[in-house]
């Protein structure tokens, strides 16, 4: 697979034509597509990209969340020999019940995505965390099925490799961020990884379409679930139930302390009465609330000039100059440093970033890779 579109045909065949008793194969392809976008700055070096099953499990948790309920479950496949449609339904339903009783819990289909975000930040109770861990363990077991059987039904592991741990990987294999060496990985061919990025929008649309059709056809109990309802559930995005009040407070403290906080885009000085916390990568493109993606901005510029667009290449020199400075400001403030490092470790890998300059370079690569992959609307710098 050479990354020139050959691999996307394999992906299309798995999603559209593989035999399926549930929608695990569709969920696996969707997750790998999302991860290729999340880590768009990563490229293979001839031996593939190793993807931790834990990262896939976190995405599956969000995908399947809208379809588990004690009162009205939406089935994701058939029942065989008394087994449930998906093996993690019980654990995910329990987790959902616990979450709904928390401050942020709601009936939104995207609450699973929000929960994972709160787990990463360490903002959940011990009870919720333990339930999450149990659910992820079962999810990881389930994920190994489509890894094994995707592609030619008569040949196992015809598309993806057997799951492996770090010591079993080729030394030239590039690994996505992971928590420890005992994690399980599947290796995605370099060409397929690049095709996931290049054809991201197409693969996402195909997965959503086929998932919606599959669930509609699996509506055995006549609940009236149709493809439109499934599509809306699969595409719901988390809202801003956790406002950026902490980040705003930190920016205002910096201003009060005379740190000379300036608009990242215009370089004009900011005041507590005139500033926004701006997402470089907009929420509408990809929801990243990590501190490295947040910069101070003039309110008017953010709301009327940048809006939900990404910077184009004319901003590259400015970003190379200003990002190290703003990241160093975050690093120098103790409580901001800990939050910044947590997001950096999650996005770029533990120990992968040494200082503000390295973080700036990694962030810029990711920002422009996501813009290219998603064909996101951009705004130019006016000199």
Clarify whether residues 250 and 221 are in a common domain: no
Alpha-carbon span 113 to 288, nearest angstrom: 11
Alpha-carbon span 176 to 33, nearest angstrom: 14
Q: What is the pLDDT of residue 221?
A: 61
Q: What is the pLDDT of residue 285?
A: 86
Q: What is the pLDDT of residue 26?
A: 96
Q: What is the pLDDT of residue 309?
A: 95
Alpha-carbon span 291 to 340, nearest angstrom: 5
The confidence band for 237, taking pLDDT boundaries of 50, 70 and 90, is confident
- Mean pLDDT within 328-342: 93
- 32-46, 179-193, 236-250: lowest mean pLDDT where? 236-250
Q: What is the pLDDT of residues 135-169, one digit of tens each?
A: 999 999 999 999 999 987 678 999 999 999 999 99
Q: What is the pLDDT of residue 2?
A: 43
Domain of residue 259, residue span: 245-379
Clarify whether residues 323 and 212 are in a common domain: no
Domain boundary pick from 198, 217, 235:
235
Alpha-carbon span 131 to 127, nearest angstrom: 6
What tokens does 301 get? 């510029």
Clarify whether residues 29 and 112 are in a common domain: yes
Q: What is the pLDDT of residue 84?
A: 66
Angle at 231 between CA 209 and CA 194, to 5 degrees: 50
Alpha-carbon span 295 to 265, nearest angstrom: 9
Residue 164 has phi, psi (to 5 degrees) of: -140, 165
Clarify whether residues 34 and 68 are in a common domain: yes
Task: Report the number of distinct structural domains present in the chain.
Answer: 2
**Do the beta carbons of residue 193 and residue 36 sit within 8 Å?**
yes
For residue 147, being part of any structural domain is answered with yes
For residue 240, being part of any structural domain is answered with no
Task: State the average pLDDT for the chain.
Answer: 90
> What is the bridge-based pairing of β-strands 49-52 and 185-188?
antiparallel
Q: What is the pLDDT of residues 91-137, one digit of tens each?
A: 999 999 999 999 988 989 999 999 998 998 888 999 999 999 999 99
Clarify whether residues 170 and 287 are in a common domain: no
Residue 62 has phi, psi (to 5 degrees) of: -70, -40
Q: What is the pLDDT of residue 1?
A: 40
The confidence band for 4, taking pLDDT boundaries of 50, 70 and 90, is low
Clarify whether residues 268 and 219 are in a common domain: no
Q: What is the pLDDT of residue 220?
A: 61
Domain boundary pick from 181, 212, 235:
235
Q: What is the pLDDT of residue 122?
A: 86
- Residue 51, strand partner residues: 186
Q: What is the pLDDT of residue 154?
A: 76
As a residue count, the chain comes to 383
Clarify whether residues 70 and 198 are in a common domain: yes
Clarify whether residues 24 and 130 are in a common domain: yes
Clarify whether residues 69 and 211 are in a common domain: yes
Q: What is the pLDDT of residues 298-311, one digit of tens each?
A: 999 999 999 999 99
Domain boundary pick from 200, 235, 270:
235
Percent of the chain topping pLDDT 70: 94
Q: What is the dihedral of CA 373, 378, 381, 382, to 10 degrees?
A: 150
What tokens does 14 get? 């798995």
Q: In what order do the strands lie in the sheet with 174-175?
A: 174-175, 49-52, 185-188
Clarify whether residues 91 and 122 are in a common domain: yes
Q: Using H for helix, E for strand and C for coil, what is the string for the chain?
A: CCCCCHHHHHHHHHHHHCCCCECHHHHHHHHHHHHHHHCCCCCCCCCCEEEEHHHHHHHHHHHHHHHCCCCCCCCCECCECCECCCCCHHHHHHHHHHHHCCCCCCCCCCHHHHHHHHHHHCCCCHHHHHHHHHHHHHHHHHHHHHHHHCCCCCCCCCCCCCCECHHHCCCCCEECCCCCCCCCEEEECHHHHHHHHHCHHHHHHHHHHHHHHHHHHCCCCCCCCCHHHHHHHHHCCCCCCCCCHHHHHHHHHHHHCCCCCECCCCCCECECCECEEEECCCCCCCCCCCHHHEEEECHHHHHHHHCCCEECHHHHHHHHHHHHHHHHHHHHCHHHHHHHHHHHHHHHCCCCCCCHHHHHHHHHHHHHHHHHHHCCCEECCCC
Percent of the chain topping pLDDT 90: 68
Alpha-carbon span 147 to 140, nearest angstrom: 11
Clarify whether residues 172 and 296 are in a common domain: no
């Amino acid at each position: 697979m050479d990354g020139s579109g050959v691999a996307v045909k394999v992906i299309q065949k798995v999603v559209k034509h593989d035999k399926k008793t549930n929608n695990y194969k569709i969920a696996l392809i969707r997750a790998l597509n999302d991860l290729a976008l999340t880590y768009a700055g990563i490229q293979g070096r001839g031996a593939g990209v190793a993807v931790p099953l834990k990262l896939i499990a976190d995405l599956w948790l969000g995908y399947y969340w809208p379809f588990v309920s004690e009162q009205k479950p939406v089935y994701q496949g058939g029942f065989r020999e008394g087994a449930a449609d998906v093996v993690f339904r019980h654990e995910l339903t329990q987790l959902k019940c616990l979450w709904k009783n928390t401050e942020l819990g709601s009936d939104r289909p995207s609450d699973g995505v929000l929960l994972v975000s709160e787990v990463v930040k360490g903002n959940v109770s011990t009870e919720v965390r333990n339930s999450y861990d149990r659910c992820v363990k079962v999810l990881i077991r389930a994920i190994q099925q489509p890894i094994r059987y995707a592609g030619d039904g008569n040949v196992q592991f015809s598309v993806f490799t057997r799951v492996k741990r770090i010591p079993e990987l080729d030394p030239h294999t590039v690994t996505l961020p992971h928590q420890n060496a005992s994690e399980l990985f599947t290796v995605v061919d370099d060409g397929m990884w690049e095709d996931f990025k290049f054809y991201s929008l197409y693969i996402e649309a195909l997965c959503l379409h086929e998932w919606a059709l599959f669930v509609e056809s699996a509506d055995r109990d006549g609940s009236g679930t149709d493809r439109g309802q499934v599509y809306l559930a699969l595409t719901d995005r988390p809202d801003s139930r956790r406002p950026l009040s902490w980040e705003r407070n930190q920016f205002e403290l910096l201003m009060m302390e005379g740190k000379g906080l300036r608009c990242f885009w215009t370089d004009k000085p900011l005041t507590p009465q005139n500033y926004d916390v701006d997402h470089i990568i907009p929420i509408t493109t990809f929801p990243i609330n990590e501190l490295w993606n947040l910069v101070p901005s003039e309110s008017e510029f953010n709301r009327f000039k940048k809006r939900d667009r990404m910077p184009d290449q004319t901003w590259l020199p400015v970003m190379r100059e200003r990002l190290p400075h703003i990241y160093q400001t975050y690093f120098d403030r103790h409580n901001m440093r800990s939050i910044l490092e947590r997001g950096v470790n999650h996005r770029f890998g533990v120990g992968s970033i040494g200082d503000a300059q390295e973080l700036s370079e990694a962030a810029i690569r990711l920002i422009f890779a996501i813009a290219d992959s998603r064909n996101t609307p951009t705004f130019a710098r006016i000199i």
